[in-house]
Structures are given as structure tokens and as C-alpha cells.
A and B are shown apart, each in its own frame.
Chain A
Amino acid sequence: MSAVIDHDHAHGHHDHHGGYGGIMRWITTTNHKDIGTLYLWFSFLMFGVGGIMAVVIRAELFSPGLQFVNPDFFNQLTTMHGLIMIFGAIMPAFVGFANWQIPMMIGAPDMAFARLNNWSFWLLPFAATLLALSFLMPGGAPGVGWTMYAPLTVQMGMGMDFTIFAVHLLGMSSILGAINIITTILNLRAPGMTLLRMPLFVWTWLITAYLLLAVMPVLAGAVTMTLTDRHFGTTFFNAAGGGDPVLYQHIFWFFGHPEVYVVALPAFGVISQVIPAFSRKPLFGYASMVYATSAIAILSFIVWAHHMYTTGIPVSGQLFFMYATILIAVPTGVKVFNWVATMWKGSLSFETPMLFALGFLFMFTLGGFTGLVLALVPVDIQLQDTYYVVAHFHYVMVAGALFAAFAGIYFWLPKWTGKMYDETLGKIHFWLTLVFLNMIFFVQHFLGLAGMPRRIPDYPLMFETWNKISSLGAFGMGLAQLLFLYIVVKCIRSGAPAPQKPWEGADSLEWTHLPTPVPYHSFETPPVLH
């Protein structure tokens, strides 16, 4: 079997950057690796911005009473923190992975629509600009929460309009990106790369892309209705005109719940690459993983009202959505089982990617369990809008998705840069992140159960201890990410050269068929697979 493709083709493609140099290379690039890099750095930047907001939020909550920010600004911070972390940090991070990895994993020359791919990325900084501008408007950024519920959104100042347009641009970016990913996967696979031979990461992205296509336009519709309610006299969310504020929530959560799987599925994909590699065993139950992922995606469309148990839906509705939600635990359980079974009797080693994957496994499962708790109507009526919900979704989004992103970065960084990161520092980063993360969020379960409401800058004295611990954890978590930045920069600048396949058990095409670092253009002719 010919392992590594020789890249000095005779057939003349142009120089690497097609004529543009310097900054213009990055602005005009159509190369999936460049665009992946852009996504990842952008994501890191947004992670920093959203992180600073989180630190300010936690500083305010360090003690009862009002210290640093006024309640209005506090609300603006929680809103922007949520929007930036979801749309600016987590989603682009996984699109970055998709860009780098999908073409290499399926033996494609690039993404199917390379120019469009560039646009998907370059919409993001402009959307971020709109979000940032909203802070400068009279009245500041909207303080409505990332869910942007009507009728509050109808009453906000100009900042709300900026946010709405930002959401439109973010949605466009996601839709164009999803079309690209679907087309790439369906049409650009190398001969022999049948659907059921694709690495699971590719599968999860295929399904995620469908979720995006189905729900991002719906979100665009929801915020468009908000916009016309604000400025053009429509009454979609106004009962006096025959509309209904609850309608907003239905439309939003029809988007919102699949959206959490947009965040989660690619994370599952990364974990499904990392765990087998460090267990030196193929993924257990590959086909069942594919089916479970599809089942999760389909079910995710019929559970949205579990976010609305307390906003006035009939009991029959509550029951339906409760059972549907609990049903999702079945395919999710299949996945967790398969990951554990992959490790069973494997020859395990615990490099940084594996540590993050294990961290993911434990804590994502915990987040799934609290999700089940919240899915129960009688319980949720108590817990809705408390810190318990905040704890739940941070376990799935941060301990879940973010940990998977870290696992992926450490896993593929050697391949992308051709250099190894510092293993010791990586492990330190993992342990610091793990400890601080649990400091921040574990105690929030207690706060929520005791009744502390979310999105409020003040609280009674009895909550002080847990809040102090949580805030200290947040400061530590922030600092630990500076270490991450250092590790990445150090790796790029002066890491030791990496071999073609630094991870013994890794078996997808980028490891087996491409040299390290991967050449700028890979698989311009499809690889031969057996």
C-alpha cells in the first residue's frame, strides 16, 4: 500500500497563495486549511472576549450586593457572553475542525465550494463587529439574555437592532458553511470512501450540517419578526394585536434545542476519533454510533418545549415534551456506552488529548444527567431559571463541547503544524481546567437547588460561600487559558518536529496518507483506498 502521496505533481497548479501575499492571503484564501486556521483563531479570540465578560460577571457575583457593574450592564454582559460563546467561540471552533479535517479525512482536494467557504468565515468578524457596536449605542447592548425573548426585545434600544443583524450574519455564515460541508461530504469523497467507512467525525458533521440548515433559517425568521415588531408595527409577539409572546419562545426553541446538538454532535465526533486512537482499538459499535447520532438529531426537533414548561403550555404538551426529552437519553446512552466499550481492554495511554476526552466523558455524562433531571416537569418547575440550569448547560457546553475542542486541538496540532506541543504543559493545562471548571460549575447545582435565580446580579447572604468558590474558579479558569495560548504558540514556534503519525492508534487518512506537517494542498488527486 502506498502510504504517503507525493506532492510534487507535475501538473501545474499555481503557487501556494494564488498571487496574494501578506494579509491579503488570509482575506482572499480559498484553502480549507487556511480557512480552518482562521476559524480557530477567531474562535479563540471570541473565547477570550466572552471569557472576560464571564470574569466580570463572576466578579460581580463574588459578593452579595452591587459592586462593579449596574444591573442593566450585568444583563448586557450575560446576554453577550452567551451569544459570543455559542456563535463566536464554540460553533466556529468546530467549523474550524471541519474545515481542516473533513477534506483530509475523506480524501478530498478541498471543500466543495472554496470561495463560499471563505465567505462563511469572513461573515463572522463582521457579525462580531455588529455585536461589539451594540455596546456603544445609547442604552448599550441588549440586556435580554441570549435567548432574546419577546416582549423584552421589543422594548430594547438600538443595540437590539445591531444584535438582530448580527444574528442574521451569523446565520448566513452557518447556512453557507453547512451547505458546503454537506456537499463536500456527499460529493468529494475519494473512491472507496463509502459512507459507512467515513471517520465518525465526518459523520457527526454531516448530521450537524443538516441540523444547521433546518434551524438557522428559523432563528433568522424569529429575529426578523422581532425586528418588524420593533420598527414596522407588526404584532407577532404582541397579544393586543392577536400575536403571542409565547410564539417567540416556540420558534426560538425550535431552533434552540437542535442548536445545542449543533454544538454537541461535532464534539461527539472529535471524542470518537480521540478515544479509539489512545485505546489502540477501533471505535466500538461504529454503525450504532452513526444511528445514535442520527436519532439524536431527529429527536432534537421534538423536544423544544422542555425549555418552556413554566411559560404556559398545556399539561398534555408538558407530558409529550417530557417523554420525548427523556427518549433522547437512549441514543446518548448508546454513545457513552460505546466510548467506554472502546476503552475496555484497550491498551490505553493518557496523553493530553485523551485526558480531555476522558474529562469530556465524565462531565458530559454528568451534564446529561442534570438534563434528565430538568426534563422532568415537576422538578423543572422548581428549577427553571435557577443556577441549576446554568450548571447543567455549562457541563454540556464547557465540560462537554469545549473539552472536546481542546482534545481535538491537542490531537491534531502536531499534524497541522508539524510540531509537537509540550506534553507536560498540556497535562497541566488539563488538570487546571478540570479543577477550576468544577469549582465554577459544580457548586452552581447547589445554588440552583437552593433557589438562586440566574441572570440577577445580587443574591441573599446565604448563597455567599458557593458564589465565592464559583467566582474563584472562574478567575482560575481564565488564567489557565493563558497557559493554553502559551502552549499553542510555543508549539507553533519551537515545538519538536512531529512524526507523520504521532499517535499510534490513529487511523484516519490524514495520519496514514499524508506527511506531517500536511502540505498546503492535499489529495489533489484522490488517494487510492483499499
Chain B
Amino acid sequence: MTQNASTHGRQQHYSVPQPAPWPIMGSAALLLMAIGGVFVMNGTRAGWASIGAGFLLLVYMMVRWFGDVIRESEGGKYGGWEDLSFRWGMSWFIFSEVMFFGAFFAALFWARVYSVPDLGSIESNALMWPGFAPRWPSAGPAFEEQFTPMAAWGIPAINTLLLLSSGVTVTLAHWALKENDRRQLVLFLALTVALGVLFIGLQAYEYGHAIRELNLKLSTGIYGSTFYMLTGFHGFHVTCGAIMLTVILVRCIRGHFTPDHHFGFEGVAWYWHFVDVVWLGLFIFVYWL
């Protein structure tokens, strides 16, 4: 071991974690939630019990699993080599998330470019849907009620500002961390969390407004479908991101991370930027254009 430790000038021991019961616990939790979910969706309310149990188990599993990782990290088990793995891993995880959103954006573009114009074509008007005028936003030819589409320059524009500024504050926090200025770190990180929470709050308010005053629901044809599924999944990701940021904030307060060893912080910051970029796409294609 020593003989090649020196020859390559690189860390020689990659730390492989010990066996752990958390993964299978996570699977069991997901199974419970899936079964419960199916029953609830099909009208058996008892399914909620299973969802609840699965959710608690999932939270417990995550607390313990991440707890282990944090302990290992603070215990100095991860050097530069493992750190690089985390970086690759997080990047490609985010890539897969981008593809997930891609599917829903594809649905949006498909509806706007193909299916709605097609439904208003001459053939379609003559054979199936007389009088349907293809206009975006559209809820489709069979949708009878009136609805008002969401305007871009109210709350959504404010939300854009909020998220973009939170991208700035998280970067300021990062700089502070690198300078080892813990006070600024905590300050800016807390500010980031606050902006995130404010965003979620406004988004929730906006949903309420849309459902009550604009008559815009998930079932409002393809416009409602794409609007709520895209912004909903985004909101869900922001919520996860805010929780992750909060955990990092608590860790910062407790004195975790050093100026040159803090991938936990960076990974979450990357995730936050990703959520930010998705929002820009949403703002442009869902709200604005």
C-alpha cells in the first residue's frame, strides 16, 4: 500500500460505507405509500393510513441515512476523492431531474404547437368539433366553462424576482463560507430560506386565487393540466429545496463545514439554482408567452 501511495500523489483509500438497513426501509416506505395511494385514488379512504405510515417511515429513513452521512463527513471520512464522487453524482441527479421536467415541457409545447391547432383545423371543425377556435390558452373543445388564464406580471413576476434574488443570496452565503465568515454565511443562508418560503407562500396564495376567482383548476383542459403539473412539480421541488437549505442552515449554525470542505452546502446550492432555472422556463413559457 505504501509503495503506491506515494507514486501517484492521490488519495489511496476510498471510503466504502458499512452495510445499512436504510435503503430497504426506504423501499418499504415507498411501497406503503404506493399501495395507500392507489387505494385513496380509487376511493378507499383507509389508504391514507398506509400513506401516512409510509411517509413517516420515509422521513425516519432519511433522517437516519443522512444523519449517518453527516456523521461520516464530520468524522473526516470523506476526502477529495469521495468529494469528487459526490459532485458527479449530484450533477447527474440534477440532469435526470431536468429530463423529468423536460417531459412536461414537451407536453406543453406539443399542446401549443400541434394538438390545439390541429383540433381547430378545418377537418377537425368539420368532423368533430365545429366552431372550435384554436387559441392559447385553451382548455380544449369540450370544455364548457369560462376561465381566466394566469397573468404573468403579477405575483409570478414577483416570484421570479424572489427566486432570482435567492440565487444571489445563496451565492453570497457560499462566498462567506469560503471566506470563513460564519456570521454572513448564516445570515445569507437564512435569507435564502426566507425567500424560498415566501415564494412557496405566494405560490400557494396564487393557486387559491386561481381556483376561486379565475376558475382555473387542474381539470381545466390542457391549459390547466400543463399549468398545474409544471408549476406544481416545480413548487414541490422548491419545497424540497427549502427543506434541504434549512438542514444546511442548521448545520452551519452548529459549526459544520469548513472553507474547503463543504459539498453538502454546495450540492444543495446547485439544486437551488436548478430549481431557479426551471422557474425561468416556467415564467417564460407557462406564464408569459
Residues of A within 8 A of B (CB): 9, 11, 14, 17-20, 24-25, 27-30, 108-110, 112-116, 118-119, 122-123, 125-126, 129-130, 133, 158, 161-162, 165-166, 168-169, 175, 178-180, 182-183, 186-188, 191, 213-218, 220-222, 224-225, 227-228, 230-236, 238-244, 246-247, 250-251, 254, 524-526, 528
Contact = CB atoms under 8 A, between A and B. Distances in A.
B140 A243 contact: yes
Contact of A109 (B4, B14, B229): B14
Nearest to B8: A191
Interface residues of B, number: 72
A27 B38 contact: no
Contacts of A158: 38, 42
Interface of B: 1, 4-5, 7-8, 10, 12-14, 16-24, 26-28, 30-31, 34-35, 37-38, 41-42, 65, 81, 84-85, 88-89, 92-93, 95-97, 99-100, 102-104, 106-107, 110-111, 114-116, 118-119, 128, 138-143, 217-219, 221-226, 228-229
Contact of A233 (B103, B115, B218): B218
Nearest to B97: A217
Given A109-B14, A119-B22, 14 more contacts: A24-B21, A30-B18, A109-B13, A116-B23, A122-B24, A161-B42, A165-B34, A187-B84, A220-B100, A225-B225, A243-B222, A247-B110, A247-B115, A528-B4
A528 to B, nearest CB: 6
B18 to A, nearest CB: 4
Contacts, number: 237
B107 A241 contact: no
Contacts of A222: 103
A114 B17 contact: yes
Greatest chain A CB density within 10 A among B20, B104, B110 is at B20
B99 A214 contact: yes
A241 B229 contact: no
A115 B65 contact: yes
Given A19-B19, A233-B218, A239-B140, A133 B35 contact: yes
Contact of B18 (A19, A125, A215): A19
Contacts of A233: 217-219
Contacts of A235: 139-140, 219, 221-222, 225
B88 A115 contact: no
A231 B110 contact: no
A231 B41 contact: yes
Main secondary structure of the interface of B (DSSP, over half): helix
Contact of A114 (B16, B143, B226, B229): B16
A118 B22 CA distance: 9
A115 B23 contact: yes
B1 A11 contact: yes
11 contacts: A11-B1, A108-B14, A110-B14, A114-B16, A161-B42, A166-B34, A180-B89, A218-B99, A240-B143, A242-B222, A243-B140
A119 B89 CA distance: 15
Contacts of B30: 123, 126, 169
B19 A29 contact: yes
Contacts of A213: 92, 95-96, 99
Nearest to A182: B92
B107 to A, nearest CB: 6
B85 A122 contact: no
A218 B18 contact: no
A118 to B, nearest CB: 4
A122 B20 CA distance: 12
Given A187-B85, A228-B218, A236-B225, A241 B140 contact: yes
Contacts of B27: 119, 122-123, 125-126, 169
Contacts of A17: 19
B248 to A, nearest CB: 20
A9 B95 contact: no
Nearest to A112: B85
B19 A25 contact: yes
Contacts of A29: 19
